[in-house]
């Protein structure tokens, strides 16, 4: 095992998160490598110090304020959905009016159609990226 691989697994070993089949390999490396053993010992010391710390529980008012913030977030999300929905309906009506009007030139119809198609494509890509990121976000359970 190389040091860079061991460094990644030492913290998992200390936290008892390393699979059983990898423990012996990491321990063997720690015993044979001075630098990795030094890292291991310093992480153990840090873990012992952290175990002794006590964190005060937040006051009841903090939890109540958190519930209000969640309600505000829900309201703002609903407002955003209504705004975007109305915008898309208005845009659809404008496009229908433009393309059903025989007085509008073909060039204008092509240009406007291209702009709208480009904006919708960018919106779709942005939403797809956001959804993909939210599924793999390892910090999504952390409160802000």
- The Cα 45–Cα 100 span in angstroms is 75
- The Cα 48–Cα 64 span in angstroms is 34
- Band of pLDDT at residue 122, cut at 50, 70 and 90: very high
Model-wide pTM > 0.85? no
Domain-by-domain residue ranges, the chain? Answer: 3-51, 101-137
User: Is a pLDDT exceeding 60 seen at residue 64?
Assistant: yes
- Band of pLDDT at residue 76, cut at 50, 70 and 90: confident
- Rounded (10°) CA dihedral 133, 136, 139, 142: 90
Residues 13-48 pLDDT 10s: 888 888 888 888 888 888 898 888 898 899 888 888
- The Cα 5–Cα 27 span in angstroms is 12
- pLDDT number for residue 86: 93
């Amino acid at each position: 095992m190389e040091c860079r691989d061991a460094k990644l697994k030492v913290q998992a070993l200390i936290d008892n998160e390393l699979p059983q089949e990898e423990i012996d390999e990491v321990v063997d490396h720690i015993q044979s490598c001075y630098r990795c053993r030094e890292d291991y010992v310093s992480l153990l010391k840090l873990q012992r110090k952290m175990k002794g710390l006590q964190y005060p529980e937040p006051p009841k008012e903090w939890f109540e304020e958190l519930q209000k913030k969640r309600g505000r977030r829900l309201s703002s999300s609903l407002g955003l959905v209504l705004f975007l929905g109305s915008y898309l309906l208005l845009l659809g009506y404008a496009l229908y009016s433009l393309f059903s009007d025989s007085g509008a030139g073909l060039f204008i119809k092509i240009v406007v159609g291209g702009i709208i198609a480009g904006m919708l494509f960018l919106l779709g890509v942005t939403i797809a990226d956001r959804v993909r990121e939210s599924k793999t976000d390892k910090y999504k359970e952390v409160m802000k």
